[in-house]
Amino acid sequence: MDVKKLISELKSDDELTRREACRALGDSPVQEAVRPLMEAFRDESWLVREAAVEALIKIGGEKGVSLLLSVLKDQDARVRNSAVEILTGLGESAISIVMEALHDDDENIVRYAADVLGDIGDRKAAGSLIQALKHPSIDVQYYVIQAIGKLRDESATPALLPFLDQDMWLQSVAVEALGAIGDRRATSKLISLLNTDTFIKAQVAEAVGRLGDPSAIPALLSSVKEGNTELNHAVLQAVVAIKDKGTIPFEISGEYKLKEEAITSACLSALENPDNDLRKAAAILLGWLKAESAVNPLTEKLKDNDEEVSGSVQSALIEIGKAAVKPLLSFLSIPEKRARLLAVNALGDIGEEKSAESVISMLSDDDDDIRRAAVSVIAKLKSKKALPTLLKLLGDESEKVRGASVEAVSSYSMDEELFGKLLSMLNSSSHLIRRSAAEVMERIVDERAVQELEALLLDDDPAVKQAAVFALARIEHIKVGSIPVMLLGSEDPVLRKSAAIVLGDLKDRRAVDPLCITLNDENMWVRYHSALALGIIGDNRAMKQLVQGLDDPVGVVRLACVKALGGIKDPPCDERLLKIADDEDEDVRKTLVEVLPIFPSVSARDAVLRLLSDTSWRVREAAVLSSEKISPPLAGSLIEPLAADSNQFVREAAKEVLSRI
Amino acid sequence: MLENKISPKEFVIIRDLVKERTGIYIRDSRSDYLEYRLKDRMLATGIHNFEEYYYYLKYNTGTSGEFQSLINLITVQETSFFRNPDQLKSFQNVVLKELIDDKNKSGQRTLRVWSAACSTGEEPNTLAIIINESLPYLFNWDMEIIATDISTRALDIANKGIYDEQRFKDIPQGITEKYFTKNNRGFLAKETLSRLIKYQHLNLTTDFGKSPAISKQKFDVIFCRNVFIYFPDDVKERIATGFYNSLNPGGYLFLGNAETVDIRKVPFKMTFLPGGMVYQKP
Amino acid sequence: MPKKILSAEDSPATQKFISFTLKYKGYDVVTANDGIEALEKLSQDKFDLIILDIMMPRMNGLEVLKEIKTKTPYRDTPIIMLTSEKGDSDRQTAMKLGAKNFLTKPFQPPELLEAVEKAMA
């Protein structure tokens, strides 16, 4: 790389050339490039200046840092700006020198040094910054406080509290800093500020919200003031923010009861605000307050454009309960689909039986989403009156409606009359109804349906056949045995697949040989279910084939074979399984980890422990849980670092296991 | 069975799969939204067990696979004709005019427009109408609108070209009559419009290099409105770079109202027009 | 209709201070954290007044000022520049670009409000 050429390109007429030259110089850091790059700070194009900044960050160095500090005094805002950015970008390596600069005579240097330390964010600087609070200049104090806030170091809280008594300029930055630090020690002083007539009340409320201390809620709510929308909105969001942080045993009582109307009205006005987060907070609060007086305007907000808001409104209405039923019922016939769905589902969750009357008409709506929702809600409300219509919907043209109806009908208590109707539906002329009725039979598991179901095994429609196979399997009727094996030879892959599933459920040993054949089926899901079934049956005649399956081109089949080998539990298995630890598919590796604890061998144990550092979080998590089963004491020290894993689920699993060891 | 909620872990697993394959990132607060649609698909496929459904999603790929079916549900969009009229006016009166003038002067009467998240087709039809109105001698021009979307279901609807009366409420009366015929199912786009538009399935995250309609030509204008909000920054940057490379020099990119490109990362120029900002390739 | 103000300022504390003070007085306030965001926001809405901090990362207030005066429809909109020292070369540059209103940090709410009213008069 020709450094001289690049340096001369820094003077090119074309800004893109100059920018590229900066970038290239940064990529191969050379000391001679430092001065020319610093001149590039003054470039008229900010694209070039930015590239110069990044290049200088890469080059770094102690001399560079001192040079940069002196540049902080420069007349030109652009240059100062760039110097600050570079120092921030240098991060840890620049900290000690920049901390020195806090003692400089020149106010500007101190100020910018504070800025840089705040942006670097390393808590090592906390002590020096706290000392710098003593500086006589308000300007400096302002930026030092701000920097301290960015460090988020709780040790600074006591030093900041006195600034809440200062004039508003410093008060404001101190409030902000305390909010950012999040130390609850600041709560009471901030609350007392809330009770004064300060200009920055809303800002204080927001900071209190960030601290998250539930004891602040009464004070926050009582500071709600008629007409002061800015404050009220900040209060609402602060209360919700605190509430979100944990359960709060708090009752609106006594003096705060007087404020309930003011709070409710503040929430109602917030519901009209263009800010989505604010509307959401208002809805949450109204639900929490169980504000019955607000149900009408609240229900209107089911039409809100923002999904999170309308979702929160729905939850609030459910919390308010019976008082919301009337307005919700009126929403069942509006044109806005999304709001209708929210309303009907809310009625289902509130659970007042009388709502069922109005919901019944939705069962014949043109839109299948509406029909489907109505079906689920009717089932929740347990309306007997709706049963005939539900039965009709078992033959609905829409799959999701049929599916929901099957679930719904199955949830009713099965009396003679209902059972009789379902039985006759198994002979319906509509294949959709035959199928749904068979699916219901699968759920209610009644032997009296066996004859009809057997007849369906010869049905024309494959979906009906499949449903019959599953239903009979659940009833565990002996005659079923040979039929699924026959179906393994069907031309339809869906039937072959269902047959495999059922044979596994039945644990039918006669199926082992046929299933070993379907392990080589052309359809991957047939192979998958065949493997799983062999694992459930657990006969080690299948071992050879399953081991061959470990080389299947499709990951999900390999995974099923791994699982199945775990079901067979034959000691020679584990050697062949171990190479799976390097499988390219994370789900396959994860399944291996789950299965290995079954094998007592040392190599199996080592494989599990090795996979604790797998690249995929799913594998690591499974490895944590498996390690516990293998050898708790050894595992303990290896699991410990995972309590600080980058992934939350791995962390949770690690902490849970460690607490048990 | 139906009423089981999905666990946070299950939500993350699906979310990650969707992000990996489409770039779309489903925020935590939308877990209810995802759950509802997952349940729909689980009902439809008859798979009740989450883990099994996840495998079915992961390994059933291709445009007729289960993953596509889920994507079709997740990407349902609110859309209408002449959406964001101020922006479209700027397109017509400034951008299109400039392009037409330049191309008339140079003699290269080729115009290529890409509607990159066309959903059910309202946007490309709108653009086709605007261009038709601006170019009386369209037959002299080689003009094509490529309209792409990740949802096969939306594209099916777009290809049929039949729209509900509701969608036309914001259009001036004369336009509807000129370009659509009314039948018993709604309004059907006339051939004068539909022959200008070519629909194609495209996943902006994975298919940029693969689709010939996109990779083998350059565009004068790209519209990509109201999908950027679903992408995280790294994906946005990649797609914006793809757009940049697909544009002719001087070409324009229109995004949705509050959507932006980080011009420090992708070297577009921000240009101010009366109807809002547009990005231009220098 | 309340007057709409864009405030471009990279320090969150100052930003909040300005925002809350002006909103308290009934103005509508939109905030931006740097120069580029300021330009983006300007293109998405209509403003009656713009407040620009000179010291902002990457694209600083002076460049935004230049961009506004030369390339956007906001040529004649009143702009207040926030500076942190008096008698600066920055101030000179800003005046050359056409800025007429300045406010020096630190300032109290009444000073801010006075500057705003004066600029929009």
**B17 interface with A at CB cutoff 8 Å:** no
Distance from C-alpha of B135 to C-alpha of B203, rounded to nearest angstrom: 31
| Backbone torsion region of residue A430, taken as left when φ is above 0, otherwise alpha when ψ lies between -120 and 50, otherwise beta | beta
CA distance B143 to chain A (A): 33
Among A407, A587, A649, whose Cβ lies nearest the Cβ of B2? A407
pLDDT in tens, B76-90: 877 889 988 889 999
What is the DSSP secondary structure assignment for residue B95, as one 8-state letter? Answer: I
Residue B270 has pLDDT above 90, yes or no: no
Q: Chain C interface residues facing chain B, Cβ-Cβ under 8 Å? A: 36, 39-40, 42-44, 58, 71-73
Chain B hits for C40, CB-CB cut-off 8 Å, are 260, 270, 277
A167 vs C contacts (CB less than 8 Å): 108
CA distances to A216, A256, B61 from A283, in Å:
20, 19, 41
Residues 6+ apart with CB under 8 A from A626: A593, A594, A596, A597, A608
Which of B13, B30, B59 minimises the CB distance to A556? B59
Whether residues A407 and B1 touch (CB distance < 8 A) is answered with yes
Closest residue by Cα to residue A234 from A282, A164, A178, A304? A282
Q: What pLDDT, on the 0 to 100 scale, is given for residue A45?
A: 79
Residues of C in contact with B264 (CB under 8 A): 36, 58
pLDDT at A530 over 50: yes
Higher-pLDDT residue of A27, A423: A423
Judge whether residue B37 has pLDDT over 80: yes
* Sheet architecture: strand order including C79-83: C28-32, C4-8, C49-53, C79-83, C101-104
Q: What residue in C sits closest to A198 (Cα-Cα)?
A: C21
From chain C, pick out residues whose CB is under 8 angstroms from the CB of A199.
Answer: 20-21, 24, 109
CATH no. of A596-661:
1.25.10.10
Out of A407-411, B208-212, C68-72, give the one with best mean pLDDT.
A407-411
- CB contacts of B276 in chain C (<8 Å) are 43-44
Under the banding of pLDDT at 50, 70 and 90, the label for residue A299 is very high
Q: What is the pLDDT of residue A258?
A: 57
Q: Please give the residue of chain C at the shortest CA–CA distance from A150.
A: C12
Backbone angles phi, psi at C50, to 5 degrees: -125, 130
CB contact under 8 A, B272 and C40: no
Segment (H or E) for B128: helix B122-134
Residue of B nearest to A617 (CA): B13
Q: Does A407 contact B264 at a Cβ distance shorter than 8 Å?
A: no
Per-residue model confidence (pLDDT) at position B171: 82
Q: How far is CA A593 from CA A563, A569, A629, B155, in A?
A: 10, 15, 11, 42
Residues of A in contact with C111 (CB under 8 A): none
Chain B, window 237-276: residues with a beta carbon less than 8 angstroms from a chain A beta carbon: 264
Q: Which of B265, B270, B278 to mutate against chain C (most C CBs within 10 Å)?
A: B270
pLDDT at A252: 54
Give per-residue pLDDT as tens, B155-197.
Answer: 999 999 999 887 887 787 788 889 999 888 889 999 989 999 9
List the one residue out of A157, A167, A166 whose CA is nearest residue A188: A157
**Strand-strand pairing, B247-255 and B276-280:** antiparallel
Cβ–Cβ gap C40/B276 under 8 Å = no
Contact call for A554 and B59, based on CB within 8 A: yes
Residue A316 has pLDDT above 50, yes or no: yes
Find out whether B134 and B103 touch, Cβ atoms under 8 Å.
no
Res. A367: pLDDT tops 60: yes
Task: State the pLDDT confidence band at C35, using cuts at 50, 70 and 90.
Answer: confident
Residues of chain A neighbouring C24 (CB-CB closer than 8 A):
199, 202, 230
- Report strand pairing: C79-83 vs C49-53: parallel
Lowest mean pLDDT among A59-63, A573-577, B196-200: A59-63
Which of B32, B40, B59 is facing A400, going by the closest CB pair?
B40
Contact A393, A368 (CB under 8 A): no
A256 pLDDT band (50/70/90 cuts)?
low
Q: What is the pLDDT of residue A253?
A: 54
Tell me the H-state helices in A426-582.
431-444, 450-456, 462-475, 482-487, 493-506, 512-518, 524-537, 543-549, 555-568, 573-578
Q: Are strands B186-189 and B162-163 parallel, antiparallel or unpaired?
A: antiparallel
Amino acid symbol at A180: A
Considering only CB atoms, which chain C residues are within 8 Å of A149? 13
Closest alpha carbon within chain B to A524:
B59
Q: Do B276 and C44 touch (CB under 8 A)?
A: yes
| Amino acid, single-letter form, for residue A117 | L
Q: Alpha-carbon distance A549 to A580, whole Å? A: 12
- Give the nearest chain C residue to A140 (CA atoms): C106
Could you tell me if A537 and A509 are in contact, meaning their C-beta atoms sit under 8 angstroms apart? yes
**Backbone phi and psi for residue B223, each to the nearest 5 degrees, phi listed first:** -110, 130
Which of B263, B264, B277 is nearest residue C43 as measured by Cβ atoms?
B277
Amino acid sitting at position A413: S
Higher pLDDT, A593 or A638: A593
Among A524, A587, A615, the residue to mutate for chain B (most B Cβ within 10 A): A587
Q: How confident is the model at residue B1 (pLDDT cuts 50, 70, 90)?
A: very low
Tell me the Cα Rg of chain A.
35
pLDDT in tens, A621-633: 999 999 988 877 7
- Put simply, the answer to whether A149 touches C13 (Cβ < 8 Å) is yes
Rounded Cα distance between B73 and B44, Å, is 12
- CA-to-CA separations, C26 to A197, B266, C119, in angstroms, rounded: 18, 39, 16
Tell me the pLDDT tens digit for each residue of A73-112: 776 666 777 788 788 888 887 888 889 889 988 887 888 8
ipTM value, please give it: 0.82
**Distance of alpha carbon B188 from alpha carbon B190, whole angstroms:** 6
Residue with tokens 């095994």: A457
- Please indicate whether, in this complex, the C-beta atoms of A169 and C90 are within 8 angstroms of each other: no
A-B C-beta contacts closer than 8 Å:
35
CB pairs under 8 A between B and C: 21
User: Which chain B residues contact residue A525 at CB under 8 A?
Assistant: 56
Per the CB < 8 A criterion, the answer to whether C13 and A172 are in contact is yes
Is C39 within 8 Å of B270 when comparing Cβ atoms?
Answer: yes
Contacts of B among chains (3+ CB pairs under 8 A): A, C
Q: Which of A11-15, B113-117, B140-144 has the highest mean pLDDT?
A: B113-117
Question: Could you give the CA distance from residue A580 to residue A586 in angstroms, rounded to a whole number?
Answer: 10
A324: closest CA of chain C, how far (Å)? 35
* Distance to chain C for B22, nearest Cα, Å: 27
Residues 104-133 of B with CB under 8 A from C: none
In chain C, residues with a C-beta closer than 8 Å to the C-beta of A176 are 12-13, 16
Buried b (16+ CB within 10 A) or exposed e, B211-243: eebbeeebbbbbbbbbbbebbeeebbebbbbbb
Per DSSP, the residues of B13-53 read: HHHHHHHHHH-----GGGHHHHHHHHHHHHHHHT---HHHH
Residues 38-67 of A with CB under 8 A from C: 46, 50
Residue closest to A388 by CA, chosen among A361, A367, A425, A418: A418
Encoded tokens for A362: 């939705």
pLDDT in tens, C17-33: 899 889 888 899 999 98
Probe site for chain A from C20, C29, C70, C95 (most A CB atoms < 10 A): C20
- Interval A180-223: pLDDT, tens: 999 999 999 999 998 887 778 889 999 999 998 888 888 888 88
For residues B124 and B147, is the Cβ–Cβ distance under 8 A? Answer: yes
The per-residue pLDDT for B2 is 45
A75 and C88: CB-CB below 8 Å?
yes
pLDDT digits (tens, 9 = 90+) for C85-98: 655 677 888 888 88
Structure token pair of residue A228: 């002061």
* Tens digits of residue pLDDT in B271-280: 888 778 899 9
Confidence of residue A480 (pLDDT cuts 50, 70, 90): low
What band does A545 get if pLDDT is binned at 50, 70 and 90? very high
Cβ contact B9–A649 (<8 Å): yes
User: Which residues of chain B lie closer than 8 angstroms to C42, CB-CB?
Assistant: 272
In this complex, do C36 and B276 lie within 8 Å of one another by their Cβ atoms?
Answer: no
- Every domain of chain A and the residues it spans: 596-661
Helix, strand, coil fractions of chain B, as percent rounded to 5: 50, 20, 35
Query: Which residue from A311, A404, A559 is facing B32, i.e. has the nearest CB?
Result: A311
B94 touches chain C (CB under 8 A): no
Q: Which chains touch C (3 or more CB pairs under 8 A)?
A: A, B
Nearest CA-CA distance, residue C109 and chain B, Å: 31
Q: C94 and C81 in contact (C-beta within 8 Å)?
A: yes
Nearest alpha carbon to residue A609 among A595, A598, A593: A593
